[in-house]
Amino acid sequence: GAGVSQSPSNKVTEKGKDVELRCDPISGHTALYWYRQSLGQGLEFLIYFQGNSAPDKSGLPSDRFSAERTGGSVSTLTIQRTQQEDSAVYLCASSWKGGGGGETQYFGPGTRLLVL
């Protein structure tokens, strides 16, 4: 299908290692969001990309977290020196323009990260 895809679907890593999570948005969507969903919690906004504009990084919890979006399409979320509290489901979503308002977000299936 032509939905949002994420990889890997599951990732187990050891504390202190770096991980990269990938998101492939729907073709033509200019807005891309990353969220974190901890067990039993709601969605925590991490970062937002809109076209070629500078990303809104206001939700990143620490400088161990960073993200890139290449060519206005695929995005990679990197977590350096992982900690156990980073264990969560990382969700990616895309939308046509990211203008807020009435725009629907399309979510990927998520990456389940477990830090041992």
Nearer to another protein, 41 or 83 (CB): 41
Write phi, then psi, for 86 (nearest 5 degrees): -80, -10
Residue 110 sits in the site that holds another protein (CB under 8 A):
yes
Residue 109 sits in the site that holds another protein (CB under 8 A):
yes
Per CB under 8 A, the segment of 11-19, 60-68, 69-77, 94-102 that binds another protein is 94-102
Out of 68, 81, 103, 116, name the contact with another protein by CB under 8 A: 103
Residues 6+ apart with CB under 8 A from 63: none
Nearest to 76 by CA among 85, 65, 68: 68
Nearer to another protein, 66 or 106 (CB): 106
Find out whether the peptide bond into 8 is cis, omega within 30 degrees of 0.
Answer: yes
Q: Measured between alpha carbons, how far is 17 from 58 in angstroms, rounded to an integer?
A: 24
Residues binding another protein (CB under 8 A): 4, 6, 31, 33, 41-43, 45, 48, 50, 56, 59, 91, 93, 98-110
